[in-house]
Structure 1
Amino acid sequence: MLREDSLAKEVYMGDNSNMRTAVRRGLAGLGAGALLLGGVQIVTQSAASALPGLVRQTATGAPGSRTEMSQTVNCPKGKKVLGGAGRIDGAPNGEVGLTFASPVNGGAGFTVSAAEDANGTTANWTITAIAFCSAPPDGLQYAQHTFAAGSTKSRWSSVTCPKGKKILGAGGRVSGANGRAILTGVTPSEDGRTITATAYEDEAGTTDNWSVTALATCVKPTPGLEVVQAGSIQSSDVSIASATLTCPEGSRLHGVAGEVTGGNGEVRLRQLDATPDSTAVARAAEDADGTDRMWSVHTYGICAK
C-alpha cells in the first residue's frame, strides 16, 4: 500500500539547465526560484539478504501501428523488480518515443510504454520490456513523486531515497499528454540517491494538462553498488545517436537510465536497453523534421555485485 513517508524527499521544477546542474551535483536545492515539494509515495517490502537470485526477464509485445502501446514483464513468484529497461523496435528513427518505463504493481513487474509523434507512422513497431528481479533485498522501497499536472512545453520531477539508502533502479512516466509529450530523461544523481525524470511536448504540443513522475528503487547500500555513465558526442550532424556502457568486472546490471540533452522535444528516446552481458544502451533519434540544435545522449547503468 502506498503511504507518505516522514522522510519525504525533495522535488524541484525549473529549466533544464538548472535541473541538470542539480542532478549531477546532487544538490539539496536549486537556489532562488526553486520549488520544494513533499508528498513522496513509498512502498516498503520485506527485507532479505543483499541481492539474492538475480534474474533478467523480458517480454516483447505483438507488432502494431497504434498511437500508443505498452508492454509489461512480470517477475517470477517470490521475486521483486529491482530495475528495468526497454526499447522500441521497427519504427522509423524518431517517429516513436518512450513515455513510460517503471516498476508497477508494487514491484511485481516492469512496464514500458511508447507513443507515436504527431506525424505518426504506418510501420509496425514493437515494445520490449526488461525487468531485473530478485528476492526482496534489505530495505527495498519504491519511491515516487508526481509533479502537479499543467500544460507547459517541458516538465520534470525528482525523488530522493531516504537517508542511508541508494538507488538500485530508476523509472519515469508521462501522464495525461495523450502521446503529445515524451520522456527525455531518467537521470540519477552523482551521489546515487536521487532520480529525476524529464519530459517535453513534441512539436505539435498539447493544451492538455499533463504530468511527469520520477520513480526510484531504493535499497540499503550493497557491495559494488555504483552508477556508471557514458555519453555520446554532442552534434547536430546525425539523426540518431547512442551511448553504451558495461558494468565493471564482477558487477551486474540492475537498472538502466538515460537522457537526451539539447533536443528540446525534437529528439526522442527510443531505448533504455540492457543486454544479458550487463551492457546498457541509451539510444535517441530526431523526429521526422529533424533539428539544427546540438544534442547528445547519455546512458547510466546502475551496477552492483
Structure 2
Amino acid sequence: MENNIVMENKIVNPIRKNEQAKELIKNSAKLISQADSEVEATKESIAKDVSRFEEIKNSLLSTTIIQGQILLEKASFVYIKPESDEPFEISLGNTNDNIKVNNISGGGFTAFILAIFAMLATAVAWIFVASTKVGVIIEPPAIPDNASIDKIMSWIGGGMTGGDGNPLFGMITIGLTALIIGVIVYKFYVSIKENKNFKVANNTFEKSQLYVDRQKESKTEMEKIDEHIKKVVSLLEDYRVLLDEQNAKLQRIIHVEGELEDNSQYHQSSLQEMQESERLMEKAEELMIIPITKNGKINENSINSLNEAITVYDYYLSKIYS
C-alpha cells in the first residue's frame, strides 16, 4: 500500500491536523476522479467496439450468411443454424459504488459564535454573583442605576478580596476573564473539529483507496472484454471474405450443375465446398450468438468459440496457401 506510506509520511510533518485532513480529502478526490476517468475511457472504447460488432453482425446475418443459406437450399443442402442456450449479452457488471468525498471545514465560524456566547455567559455570571454579594437586585430587562453598577464592579474589582475595590478594574476583570474563556472555548472547539476532520479524512482516504482498487479490477476486466470484442470483430471481417468467396463458389456450382433435388447428385468437390460453407457459416454465427459476457466477465464459452473459429480460419488459410 504505497499510498498509505506516503500519507503516513505526510502526517508526521509539523502542520495542523486540519491542513493534513484537507490534503487527505484532496488526494482522495484526485484518486477517485482519476480512477473514474480511466473506467469511463475504457467504457467508451468498449461502446465503440460493441457498435462495430453489432454493425458487422447485422451485415453478415442480413447479407453474406443469408445468401449462403439460400444458395445451400437451392443445392438441396440442409443447413441447421446454431443456437445458444444463453441469451446474448454484453454487460460490464456494476462499477458504480457511489463513493462521495465531502469537503471539510475548520469550524472557525462556529467556534467564534460559541466563544461569543461563552464570553457573554462569563460576563453575566460575574455580574450575577457580584449582585448577590452586594445586595443589588437585577430584574431584566431593567438596567440597574449607576450606583448599583458601581457597587457590582467595585466588588469584582477588589471588593471580593476585602479591599475597597475599583469599578474600572472590575470591568477590566470581566473583560479579561470573558476573553480568556472565549479563547479557551474557541481553541477547544477547533481542536475537537480538527480531530474529527482528521478521522473523517483518513476514513475517506482509506475508502477511496478501496474504491480505486475496485475500479482498477473493473477496468482490467473491461479491458479483457474490449480486447475480446476486438478479436471477434476482426475475425468476423476475415470470415466475411471467406464466406463471400464460398458464396461465389456455390453460385458457380449451381450455375454449372444446376439445382438438383438430391444433394448427393452433385460432384464430390462441389459437396466438399458446400460442407466448407456450412462449417464457416456455423462458426461465424456461433461467434455472434454466444454471449460475450456473463455476470460482467468474459464468457468462457465465447472464448472457446473464438479459439475454435480461429482454428477453422487458419485451417482454410493453410488450404489456400499450401
Shorter-chain TM-score range: under 0.3
Q: Whose strand fraction is larger, Structure 1's or Structure 2's?
A: 1
Higher relative contact order (CA 8 A, sep 6+): 2
Larger radius of gyration: 2
Q: Which has the higher helix share?
A: 2
